[in-house]
Amino acid sequence: MKAKRAARVADLLRKEITDLLLKEIKDPGIGFITVTGLDLSNDLRYARVYVSVMDKSPEQSEVTFAALQRASGFIRHRVYKNLRLKHAPEIKFFPDESIDRGFRIDEVLKELEKDEEE
């Protein structure tokens, strides 16, 4: 039962965090990002937010994640207030490399297909 509730709350959290990042966070350090996923503990105390940074330079990624960590307290407060949760989850941001891995797999498959044609 707790896992189902955590999944529902995680979906609401992901939507709320995405809205906050789009509409309310005005930090210039946060570049073009996409919230790709969120893992929430069963006790609803810890949230791992997975973010994909569209600017691929390592420097920009570091700046973006530093800005996200600075904004995490504000985000936590707004999530607590807007969703009326008993406890505000501790929010940590992590890079999501699944898109990069997907592109790399696609490149390898294209190379293999090209080799087979030759």
pLDDT digits over 41-89, tens only? 888 889 999 988 887 677 778 888 888 898 888 888 888 888 888 888 8
For the domain that residue 82 is a member of, what is the CATH number?
A: 3.30.300.20
What's the number of domains the chain is made of? 1
**How high is the pLDDT of residue 2?**
62
Distances (CA, A) of 30 to 20, 34, 83: 12, 11, 24
Question: Would you say the pTM of this structure is higher than 0.85?
Answer: no
Amino acid at 70: R
**How high is the pLDDT of residue 1?**
46
Domain that residue 31 falls in:
2-117
Q: Which of 5, 18, 22 is nearest to 85 (CA)?
A: 5
